[in-house]
Amino acid sequence: MNTILSVRHLSKEIKGRSIVKDISFDVLEGEIVGLLGANGAGKTTIMKMIVGLSKISAGDVWIAGNSMKTQFSKALDNLGAVIEAPAFYPYLRGYENLRQYQRLHKNTSKDWLLEVANLVGIDHALKQRVGTYSLGMKQRLGIAQALLKKPKLLVLDEPLNGLDPAGVRETRNYLSKIASELGVSALISSHQLSEIEQMASRVIVIQEGSLMIEQQIGYEAGDGGLQLTLHVNDLEKTSKVLAEFLGEHYHSLTNQQAEELPGGLYAVFLTLEEEQVPRLIRTLCSEGVDVHRVQPVNSSLEEKFLQWTTKRGEVS
């Protein structure tokens, strides 16, 4: 899979103060990545350097293989961005605002403008003056504008800000659609961690200008494997299978590791390496144990974020 955004040793200094410190990460084609951090962590500064709104003190950014330092125009050709609040002509209609921007790009058409407007859900409001738009509608118009040039990368700073629950869900759905159907990559900052968890494949956590952790969504770092819950019909047989399966690493099931459920079932809690799971299920079934459910036990992204930042002393 192609790398669309490559950030290497990115740093920013202002009046001798280090704001961003040696940040490196990649975003792949069609991937949505969340950029997380508390207020003042450096997220917006990083995004501004990526899109060329702030000078890079050290390091470089490549967009679709083009350096922001040495191939600025080519890099921008592959980039669409909404940083902070999108700005428009409030006295013009939504359609006229998009047309003003569309005329700057020869490879776009009126048909594509209407398709983008439909994709982000503002097609019904194109005839209204932008001054009458809600904050959520302006956010959508900003993303539509960013998509007009058919970019390979979207950089969106708090695109869910000011949206009601329905608007948040719709925004999440069309960003996921853009990534999956058009192959557009997206780097998104947001404080709505539950939404990032649902649409991003990976998160990058920034704290005090430094990269703190980079992790796939749904993977428990440092837990020694996957935490699972099995629903089985026979606790005694399950215990015997686990004893043989895990060998010296097995500890007999206690009340803390197993729980009786209605209907004659038991919930068994255990931690395994991912490659062990299919073999364990086959072994249980061959020994006459009915496995009714297998489900991962993961902390929410919000819980993980608080754990990560608490370790560094930021959140009490």
β-sheet bridge partners, residue 5: 27, 63
CA distance 259 to 267: 5
In terms of pLDDT, which residue wins out, 219 or 66?
66
Domains and CATH numbers, the chain: 3-216 (3.40.50.300), 226-296 (3.30.70.120)
Q: What is the largest CA-CA distance in the chain?
A: 74
pLDDT over 70 (residue 57): yes
pLDDT over 50 (residue 68): yes
Q: pTM score, two decimals?
A: 0.73
SS3 string, 236-276, reads HHHHHHHHHHHHHHCCCCCCCCEEEEHHHEEEEEEEECHHH
pLDDT over 50 (residue 97): yes
- pLDDT per position as a tens digit, 271-293: 778 788 899 999 999 999 999 99
The percent of residues above 90 in pLDDT, for the chain, comes to 44
pLDDT at 219: 55
- pLDDT per position as a tens digit, 146-182: 999 889 999 999 888 777 888 888 888 888 888 988 8
Indicate the pLDDT class of residue 315, thresholds 50, 70 and 90: very low
Distances (CA, A) of 316 to 231, 303, 307, 311: 37, 13, 10, 10
pLDDT over 80 (residue 301): no
DSSP 129: B
CB-count burial class (<10 Å; 0-12, 13-18, 19+) for 170: middle
pLDDT at 249: 57
Lowest-pLDDT choice from 105-109, 121-125, 309-313: 309-313
CA distance 284 to 239: 10
pLDDT at 218: 60
